[in-house]
Structure 1
């Protein structure tokens, strides 16, 4: 099982990355430093996460220590929904670069296909009044400018459905290299993965382990498969953890995964999945867990014309 995936522009992306969403100040810096020390090179960030400065501090610390070289890192950031107008795209990437203390990122993504007005809240609650109808094709022109100006090596999308991917591919000059979407056993996205693969686009799966805390405290939440008794039993058989079994399963679908953690033992555990293979019956069981339930549906915006689900 490869520790890298080849992108359609010739670059490579590490199969496992560290997610940084909701990683708190004071925690994310230490998490990134530790991850670099144990071998992580792929870091998934976003302007919306409001912690890029700390991630940047950690990256700089390890670069200065000589633990890692810049060209060995694969740093990702994303354009938030309020800035979909073409004129905003390059300036927003520059803002993220300043926080990350980098001259370029390796991958810049459109975070969601739907936009909000620039003056709206980041997650507006006043309904359609905050919606922007900027077409993501216009946004993509700004993304292409980011490549041309050397601010990013690659560009991609996040949370796009098949129709949106196809429309973009048919109307772009620079093809997206990835589509980052929620992938876990509850929503294994096999159809979308195949669709993207046919177009030479790598799928990166976020929330690969679901959200176990919420799934035990909120009754409407999809139950995380790391809590599934059968998965726990399977993990014992391989002398692995449920999380390792699930990540191994997802990586076998041909995707990258970006599990988020600030706990050292879990950061290490999530990275240690390349030394075993799942038997076919265990893969079949994990396949059977698919219910197409999302932990990140963004359903508050389902009446937006570019809402993807």
Structure 2
């Protein structure tokens, strides 16, 4: 951590979520850490991010980072960095072993207990699949534990979470157009957000068009391809096209990807606990990409990287990746 990084008081633009009218910061800090780090490292990274001007923090029950995020919020208030929790936008997610109608509300209560918060700003279904209750061990998924999700009962329980005031908005993550359409066919409260893998090498054009037409906001994760994780790669950071544009602009590849995401109209959560890079990553709002640069980026070969292979088996609800992603792969 860089303790001497200057505070950046510039405000991050916000987007209004269609289904709730709530304002969501365009830029956020992700806390999915693979391999895991000590809770104190996560806590101090969040405190430092608040100093720099970050106001959106993304966590999940499966990340094991809810507790340090909550502790960081308490410390930030005690240090006077923010006046109250209401200045922040906090997202967490329902993990697959709790993706059963009767377990959703208790799972959110547990997340709130970990975070020491009274409410979330956004609660997401992490993946469109369930695991047998109580079957999950951290970072280990056994294919025999994968079961079909009862979308109706799970989404009804998500709506109950919002009605109870436990979360201001609800949404999904890693959902295809077809699965979103299914939710929309019966939802009383439509998903506010779909958080998905999105970067210049997987630009999700079809999904973006579908979500835009249906009032669902997209949040991008893996904007840099998640290098250093078990499932990620360096393919974004190694892209010759992105290197060329970054060099010409005098920017980092991370800044180029962030600006691109902003210009295509999505929000983003980026994971870096390095103070210098956290500050750099915020610098995407006072400049723009040229038409020619965007054209070059749109010409990059496309492929999904985070495919969810661990949910696929001959005995399970999804036999192939094509079936899991409804052809969007």
Q: TM-score when scaled to structure 1? A: 0.92
Mapped to 2, the partners of 1:144 and 1:221 lie a distance apart of 33
In structure 1, the residue matched to 2:257 is 246
User: Which of 11, 33, 38 does residue 22 from structure 2 map onto?
Assistant: 11
Mapped to 2, the partners of 1:248 and 1:224 lie a distance apart of 18
User: Which of 55, 64, 81 does residue 78 from structure 2 map onto?
Assistant: 64
In structure 2, the residue matched to 1:212 is 227
Structure 2: tracts of 5 or more residues without a match: 1-11, 319-323
Mapped to 2, the partners of 1:144 and 1:162 lie a distance apart of 20
1:176 alignment partner, SS class: coil
Mapped to 1, the partners of 2:309 and 2:127 lie a distance apart of 13
In structure 2, the residue matched to 1:268 is 279
1:227 alignment partner, SS class: coil
CA deviation map 1:144-177 (0-9, x unaligned): 1111111100000000100110110111111110
User: Which of 52, 59, 69 does residue 38 from structure 1 map onto?
Assistant: 52
Is 1:308 matched up with 2:320? no
Q: Per-residue deviation at 1:271?
A: 1.0
Q: Per-residue deviation at 1:211?
A: 2.4
1:211 alignment partner, SS class: coil
Mapped to 1, the partners of 2:190 and 2:78 lie a distance apart of 34
Q: Per-residue deviation at 1:236?
A: 2.2
Mapped to 1, the partners of 2:21 and 2:247 lie a distance apart of 39
Mapped to 1, the partners of 2:114 and 2:134 lie a distance apart of 22
Q: Per-residue deviation at 1:189?
A: 0.3
Q: Per-residue deviation at 1:223?
A: 4.2
In structure 1, the residue matched to 2:106 is 91
Mapped to 2, the partners of 1:102 and 1:119 lie a distance apart of 24
Is 1:24 matched up with 2:41? no
Structure 1: tracts of 5 or more residues without a match: none
Contact 1:46 1:77 in 2 (8 A): yes
2:168 alignment partner, SS class: coil
Mapped to 1, the partners of 2:141 and 2:76 lie a distance apart of 40
Is 1:184 matched up with 2:234? no
Shift of the 86–234 alpha-carbon distance from structure 1 to 2, 3 Å rule, reads same
Shift of the 88–29 alpha-carbon distance from structure 1 to 2, 3 Å rule, reads same
Mapped to 1, the partners of 2:115 and 2:243 lie a distance apart of 38
Is 1:297 matched up with 2:307? yes
Q: TM-score when scaled to structure 2? A: 0.87
In structure 2, the residue matched to 1:49 is 63
